[in-house]
Amino acid sequence: MKTAVITGGAGFIGSHVAERFLAEGWDVHVLDNLITGKRGNVPPGAVFHQLDIRDGLAADLIAGLQPAVLVHLAAQMDVRKSVAEPVFDADTNIVGSLNLFEAVRNDSPKTRIVFSSTGGAIYGDQTTPPNVETFAKNPESPYAVSKLAVENYLAYYGRVHGLESAVLRFGNVYGPRQDPHGEAGVVAIFCGRILDKQPLTVFGDGMQTRDYVYVSDVVDMTYRAATRTLPPAQLLDSRAFNVGTGIATDVMRLATVLMEAGKTTIPITHAPERPGEQRTSFLDVKKAMNYLEWKPVVSLEDGLTRSFEWFAARHRADSKQPAGGKA
């Protein structure tokens, strides 16, 4: 049985990735410090290690298991927190990643690393979307800077030490178990407001666009990147793949589809535009389609309806709990 270590496996995307590896018959180890993740998200069948990726014990775990695959998803992923605390962001996202990569280099050099980067934040606002992997990178937050730094480290580890890696630049990932602080946090926030029958707040005119991709499509791409033959590793972008839908969706459309899913209408209030917020962002995903025969298959309507239903079920369960007993 092949072994996969999944960092961040108690989080949103990681828990879905762990489920997929288990379903494919892998021995799955989840490494997570539960700073935002939840123990209950770790699927039954996975071995859980409550560890920080910066900890020497996390490096020891990689050395001991010598996994075929390390899916590295654990991160400080709140863009606003990265602006407020860039040192914490870099410590987690850069130093933590290096701790794991050094363990791979020294003790498990055959491990393939699959790293979660960001297609939503790394290209900045200087490009004309759809953004292609080779476009200039102009990260506009410490979070995006840290992701790009790790991508550069992986390119270096590939060139100099021959380590195997793939970089996945996710769009705005949404779905069950997502966190309101993530890049697609608006989906979780709107679902919560609709279920509480509270007005939705939209910044600016709501016509700012992002590439929203459903979590099962992201999981499928992650599995392909972990198991398929990859293009030759050379430069920064050689092994990088955008993971999105190639479709720009504006915030007003999200609100409309989610209200349809909830079979209700909620008033929308407009707040001032947020300074520095990107106006348009969506991804060219042809490289993933060509090299890894991947295709996003879940439509926005279907994905948002599935997400809403999950939040609605959680809302019903929460409202049945006695006061103070909410998780």
Q: Which residues are catalytic?
A: 143
Q: Which is nearer to ligand NAD, 4 or 160 (CB)?
A: 4
Nearest-5° angle of CA 321, CA 215, CA 13?
70
C-alpha to C-alpha distance for 118 and 293, rounded to whole angstroms: 21
3-state secondary structure of 23: helix
CB of 116 to ligand NAD, least distance (A): 4
Q: Which is nearer to ligand NAD, 92 or 131 (CB)?
A: 92
φ, ψ of residue 127 in degrees (nearest 5): -105, 165
Q: Which is nearer to ligand NAD, 73 or 267 (CB)?
A: 73
CB of 52 to ligand NAD, least distance (A): 4
φ, ψ of residue 104 in degrees (nearest 5): -65, -50
C-alpha to C-alpha distance for 101 and 154, rounded to whole angstroms: 8
For β-strands 27-32 and 249-250, DSSP reports them as unpaired
Instruction: By CB under 6 A, name the binding residues for ligand NAD.
Output: 7-8, 10-14, 32-37, 52-54, 73-77, 92, 96, 116, 118, 120, 170, 172-173, 179, 182-184
C-alpha to C-alpha distance for 190 and 113, rounded to whole angstroms: 34
Nearest to 226, CA basis, from 115, 304, 310, 114? 114
Q: Which is nearer to ligand NAD, 170 or 294 (CB)?
A: 170
CB of 187 to ligand NAD, least distance (A): 9
Indicate if the alpha-carbon torsion angle 222, 227, 229, 234 is positive or negative. Answer: positive
φ, ψ of residue 138 in degrees (nearest 5): -135, 70
Q: Which is nearer to ligand NAD, 172 or 216 (CB)?
A: 172
CB of 197 to ligand NAD, least distance (A): 26
Place of tokens 């092994």: 239
CB of 265 to ligand NAD, least distance (A): 27
